[in-house]
Structure 1
């Protein structure tokens, strides 16, 4: 009669050792397959891709260009996809810096890559030179598409944005208009009676007050409550109400 032989199966420790050995082998093979020197265009591409990942939803043309790393740079070739990280923001600035890295064992490195951002956007352009204090309307501007740094958030693209504003300095013809070229009209004059609003969770109290200075929309202004004679500070909204601040 044949005697049954006992078959030994590898235990958990042996299985783990085999898996680790296989992983080490694949990692070693990947390192062997990697180029000796990292491709500089690959570094640029990783930096540009990181910036483009923040541009989801942008409806106009945006150009993203990473600066070419120094040709004398010889980094070890990375056997895995490059990692890229930059400052997280709602809208990338005209120039940002992206950190591109290789995290592979024995080949780890990092490099900082400058990336420029430009956009083609429709914006308002001045038809003729204007003096300081000029108030503009649709007749004084034209709508053009121009290439601007970053995403162009500071540029005006709608004639409605010209209302209740005046130029703070003389501006030559052909200038693309930005918000910082204007100041809002004075909504409140010194000595004027205004409505002071104190708001909190579920409550709003209004009281008459006297302004102690001129103020524009969005500006802080000191006012005196006519009932209590107390002087408080508030912020002027578009309708001329003064909202008390802590």
Structure 2
């Protein structure tokens, strides 16, 4: 079992889900009929139909993102009950700029046709459930991970930033950066950054540009830590900045 897409790709594929969830938000808030903000009864047939549509769109979105077995749930919250909004004949849902499209987020609701235009946001939570690795027992920070530390369970991919680690080979031998409880879905942020080389070591530098690639060697000016920038001095004395990508290997984009 492998999650092959990046978090950014999954979020991009989820945008249609969040936009459709806005339709459910309209029903939940009771705004399409110009009412004050209030939740709608669970047995409301229109809300049930929209919720079913949201669920189907969510499954389709997860499938396109490479998570065909993912189970997606959308929870629509309520507006502040103190809000008194003017009747509106046309309400457009939208995703406010900068907000995530899964996990805890908000949907914008904009009145574009009415006696008094308004613009509010409504809380929603998007859960994306899929099977992944979780810890079998509570583990202390500094634990070097082994195969017996893991089992497989359904986890909410949207519960925290980044995708959980889905393959044992990506975790075995790594060291925990913090204590984790039993049943935790391990993510890259739970692991100590790997040091691919030390300052002063000779490293292989791969410079990549549009349609070309150059390979050379240089001296690392600082330790090559996973996820951090490293400075390299080439044989000609030129200073470059790159990204450690493996054992004594650096990638530079020019």
Under a length normalisation based on structure 1, what TM-score does the superposition of the two structures give? Answer: 0.67
- The equivalent residue for 1:234 is 242
- The equivalent residue for 1:63 is 73
- Once residues 173 and 245 of structure 2 are traced to their aligned partners in structure 1, the CA distance between those partners, rounded to angstroms, is 13
The match for 2:187 among 178, 188, 196 is 178
SS in 1 for 2:222: coil
Alignment size in residue pairs: 210
- Once residues 189 and 151 of structure 2 are traced to their aligned partners in structure 1, the CA distance between those partners, rounded to angstroms, is 19
Q: How does 1:11-30 map to 2 (within 5 A)?
A: none
- The equivalent residue for 1:243 is 251
Q: Is the contact between residue 117 and residue 150 of structure 1 (CA under 8 Å) also seen in structure 2?
A: no
- The equivalent residue for 1:221 is 230
- Once residues 231 and 201 of structure 1 are traced to their aligned partners in structure 2, the CA distance between those partners, rounded to angstroms, is 21
Q: Give the aligned CA root-mean-square deviation in angstroms.
A: 3.7
- The equivalent residue for 1:190 is 199
What is the Cα deviation at residue 152 of structure 1?
6.8
Change (3 A) 1:111 1:206: closer
Q: Is the contact between residue 197 and residue 206 of structure 1 (CA under 8 Å) also seen in structure 2?
A: yes
Q: Is the contact between residue 193 and residue 209 of structure 1 (CA under 8 Å) also seen in structure 2?
A: yes
- The equivalent residue for 1:125 is 134
Q: How does 1:72-151 map to 2 (within 5 A)?
A: 72-80=82-90, 82-87=91-96, 92-147=101-156, 149-150=158-159
SS in 1 for 2:148: helix
SS in 2 for 1:180: helix
SS in 1 for 2:175: strand
- The equivalent residue for 1:154 is 163
Change (3 A) 1:132 1:67: closer
The match for 1:37 among 35, 38, 44 is 35
What is the Cα deviation at residue 245 of structure 1?
4.9
Q: Where does structure 2 lack aligned partners over 5 or more consecutive residues?
A: 1-31, 41-46, 63-67
Larger Rg: 1
Give CA deviations for 1:169-208 in whole Å, capped at 9, x if unaligned: 3334333312201134321122222112333334333222
Change (3 A) 1:177 1:116: same
- The equivalent residue for 1:31 is none
Change (3 A) 1:121 1:39: same
